[in-house]
Amino acid sequence: QMQLLQSGAEVKKPGASVKVSCKSSGDIVPGHYIQWLRQAPGRGLEWMGWINPKSGAYYRVQGLHYRVTLTWDRSLTTANMEVDSLTSDDTAIYFCAEGPKYIYVWGQGTTVTVSS
């Protein structure tokens, strides 16, 4: 089964940017998406958006689309998510995930802490 390996934990100051990478162990099946979600401490899952590795199309949820950039590096089979202008509200575990629409495979999560 395909696996997703995410980059390590990050600590950032307010106003900074963070980039989280998500390495796929194999090619993404056509019609499947890489989705991004986050989970603030003690909270539920917040869906952030997706990128289609085959077409390059992407979607970011309203409210985050000004600050979130989603990319796919075909040569490295790696998805990247960058969040700009960080605030303490962005402190969370960030997950990448893969599947046709529902999520079949999850990354292990990347903890991002925003603190002055």
Q: Which residues bind another protein (CB under 8 A)?
A: 33, 35, 37, 44-47, 50, 52, 59, 61, 95, 99-104, 106-109
State the nearest-atom distance from the C-beta of 14 to another protein, in Å.
27
Task: Supply φ then ψ for residue 90, to 5 degrees.
Answer: -90, -5
Question: Which one, 16 or 46, has the nearer CB to another protein?
Answer: 46
Q: Please, what's the largest Cα pairwise distance for the chain? A: 42
State the nearest-atom distance from the C-beta of 13 to another protein, in Å.
26
Structure token digits, residue 20 = 């989280």
In the chain, count H helices and then E strands.
0, 11
Question: Which one, 16 or 99, has the nearer CB to another protein?
Answer: 99
- Helix %, strand %, coil % of the chain (to 5): 5, 50, 50
Considering only CA atoms, give the Rg of the chain.
13
State the nearest-atom distance from the C-beta of 2 to another protein, in Å.
13
State the nearest-atom distance from the C-beta of 20 to another protein, in Å.
14
Question: Which one, 38 or 90, has the nearer CB to another protein?
Answer: 38
Beta bridge partners of 38: 46, 94
Question: Which one, 10 or 46, has the nearer CB to another protein?
Answer: 46
